[in-house]
Structure 1
Amino acid sequence: MAFALTGFDLDTFVRETLAEDLGESLPGGGHDVTSESVIPADARFAGVMDSRDPIVVAGLPVAEAFFRALDPEMEIEVLVEEGAQVAAGTDLMRLEGNARAMLTAERSALNTVQHLSGIATMAREYVTAMDNPDCTLLDTRKTIPGLRHLEKYATRMGGAANHRMGLWDAAMIKDNHVLVAGSVGEAVRRAVEAGVQEIICEVDRLDQIEPALQAGATRLLLDNMAPPILREAVALVAGRVPTEASGGINLQTIKAKAATGVNFVSVGRLTQSAPAADIGLDFTPI
């Protein structure tokens, strides 16, 4: 299964993850002592990865890459598409190949699929709860270091869209930037003078909206505003730039906030707090 994400090197990720688990470069490391001592080198397994809960699937191509890294001849059949919503008990992948390779790669493969499917599942829950085709759910930069590209991929599989990928692709002016610059308008003006094309400005009061727009903000992040205030903010913006609601958003509040007319709702917990999906992998000797 072909898998490519801009800015993400799958081969390096697989290699470094397996090296960490195998203890490469550490005294006595570099091998799976349990499999090597218990499993004959030529033993073969058949395996089935399945979901134990209803989930939205994400990460199967990465799991496949882990197994192929240790047994390039392994027979692997991926049974569901990325982003598919499946019932508990659904088979996700079938494998057949070297038993040692399967056992050594098992945890890295499962950890990845469980984590990414957990994110995708939570994102789908938020999209469903929002129930608003005119508003887009966004993730944030609240990601585990080293996993941002994969985690943001998982939110897309769940039906969300990506906010900025990092510190480089858009300016986001927040309260600490405003504190140093002196005002919202001055902070935005400095970003404009620096030649930044996309300038997202956080505002937490209605009186900050007009100065931010006049200075050149290209999107407003309406922070921690209750729905009545959000409606008023959207009316003041009057479509001049996109608006984003952020802060205090959960499954109980997202529908009301999205219904205020904002273009986006951003939720940090999609990547920060999603529980791992319950996914298992059972082997049979052949």
Structure 2
Amino acid sequence: MTPAPLDPIAVRRAVEAALAEDLGRAGDITSAATIPANAVARAAIVSRSEGRLAGVQLAAAAFEALDARVSFSTERQDGDRLQKGSVVARIEGPARALLSAERVALNFLGHLSGVATLTAAFAERIAHTPAKACCTRKTTPGLRVFEKYAVRCGGGANHRFGLDDAILIKDNHIAVAGGIQAALAAAKAAAGHLVKIEIEVDDLDQLDLVIAEGADVVLLDNMSPETLREAVRRIGGRMLAEASGNVSLETVAAIAETGVDLISVGRITHSAPTLDLGLDIALG
């Protein structure tokens, strides 16, 4: 399923910044020197490996930003599974524009498809459970909205987008605030009626305090599957249970089978390998 389209303003700003970085002060001097100004080219973006697609909107914007005459026709949608050799899009237009936008388009597409691909691998490992793999704030500065979009393309779920859309009380907050009860009381007094409160716990004694005080979500940090299972039993559906802490493809299924609702996985954004995609071009 393809997520809702990205905000076109955010896409335009990101693409313009990336193009400005790449074109520098003098533009693409290689293409200007070697390609006739009136040359037209046809190209295809092709997947060199299997994966999950994300970022087509940014790739299209990169080509179209350099020349409005570029035609970008998609053959695959974000969220689609790709095989080696899958054609993602076909592009036609002024050759200089295609060559100058190529790297920016592929950088966005490869990186975001890599995030979607790794997310899909986690989602598939826990598909037999109700749990969802979700991202964190461990994102590339400036690319968070796109990386979180790619997580959705891969079948994952989004955690908060920033410090301003939910209250997440972590161990350092608890230490400075004076304990779980004090932190929760202060959070409830400050939160608006639409703001949810999540709090991190490290053991079952802390969990019991959270259950007594009440919260929307409890973050069960670095617990064994056995402890997670007991934590879920104690929670009894009174709040969402989220597991975190060095989650890997090897451990995620056992974590999901404990009954937690969410599993936060930082590596799906901060350590996803780039998906190999290329631009095959022919002058015409």
TM-score by length of 2: 0.95
Aligned to 2:17: 16
CA distance in 1, matches of 2:66, 2:226: 56
Please list every run of 5 or more consecutive structure 2 residues that lacks an aligned counterpart in the other structure: none
- Superposed CA deviations along residues 50-86 of structure 1, whole A, max 9, x for unmatched, are 0000010111111011101112111221001110012
* Alignment equivalent of 1:225, drawn from 223, 226, 229: 223
**Once structures 1 and 2 are overlaid, which stretch shifts more, 274-283 or 125-134?**
125-134
Which amino acid in structure 2 is aligned with residue 215 of structure 1? E
Aligned to 2:114: 118
Q: Following TM superposition, by how much is the alpha carbon of 1:30 offset from its aligned partner in structure 2, in angstroms?
A: 3.6
- 8 A contact 1:7–1:149 mirrored in 2: no
Structure 1 residues 62 and 250: CA distance shift in structure 2, 3 A: same
* Alignment equivalent of 2:204, drawn from 203, 206, 223: 206
Task: Give the length in aligned residue pairs.
Answer: 279
TM-score by length of 1: 0.94
- 1:83 equivalent in alignment to 2:79: yes
Q: Following TM superposition, by how much is the alpha carbon of 1:7 offset from its aligned partner in structure 2, in angstroms?
A: 9.3
Aligned to 1:26: none
- 1:151 equivalent in alignment to 2:152: no
Which amino acid in structure 2 is aligned with residue 68 of structure 1? E
* Alignment equivalent of 2:166, drawn from 165, 170, 187: 170
Aligned to 1:161: 157
CA distance in 1, matches of 2:15, 2:49: 26
1:32-111 correspondence runs (5 A): 32-111=28-107
CA distance in 2, matches of 1:168, 1:210: 27
Structure 1 residues 190 and 8: CA distance shift in structure 2, 3 A: farther
1:173-184 correspondence runs (5 A): 173-184=169-180
CA distance in 1, matches of 2:215, 2:103: 46
Aligned to 2:276: 278
Please list every run of 5 or more consecutive structure 1 residues that lacks an aligned counterpart in the other structure: 24-28
Q: Following TM superposition, by how much is the alpha carbon of 1:213 offset from its aligned partner in structure 2, in angstroms?
A: 2.9
Which amino acid in structure 2 is aligned with residue 168 of structure 1? D
Which amino acid in structure 2 is aligned with residue 267 of structure 1? V
- 8 A contact 1:8–1:149 mirrored in 2: no
- 8 A contact 1:136–1:161 mirrored in 2: yes
Q: Following TM superposition, by how much is the alpha carbon of 1:8 offset from its aligned partner in structure 2, in angstroms?
A: 5.8
3-state secondary structure, aligned to 2:249:
coil
Structure 1 residues 138 and 51: CA distance shift in structure 2, 3 A: same
Q: Following TM superposition, by how much is the alpha carbon of 1:118 offset from its aligned partner in structure 2, in angstroms?
A: 0.3
3-state secondary structure, aligned to 1:180:
helix
- 8 A contact 2:46–2:279 mirrored in 1: yes
Which amino acid in structure 2 is aligned with residue 14 of structure 1? V
Aligned to 1:236: 234
- 1:141 equivalent in alignment to 2:137: yes
CA distance in 2, matches of 1:111, 1:121: 15
**Once structures 1 and 2 are overlaid, which stretch shifts more, 128-137 or 178-187?**
128-137
CA distance in 2, matches of 1:131, 1:82: 20
* Alignment equivalent of 1:257, drawn from 249, 255, 258: 255
Which amino acid in structure 1 is aligned with residue 104 of structure 2? S
3-state secondary structure, aligned to 1:9:
helix
Q: Following TM superposition, by how much is the alpha carbon of 1:16 offset from its aligned partner in structure 2, in angstroms?
A: 1.3
Structure 1 residues 4 and 282: CA distance shift in structure 2, 3 A: same
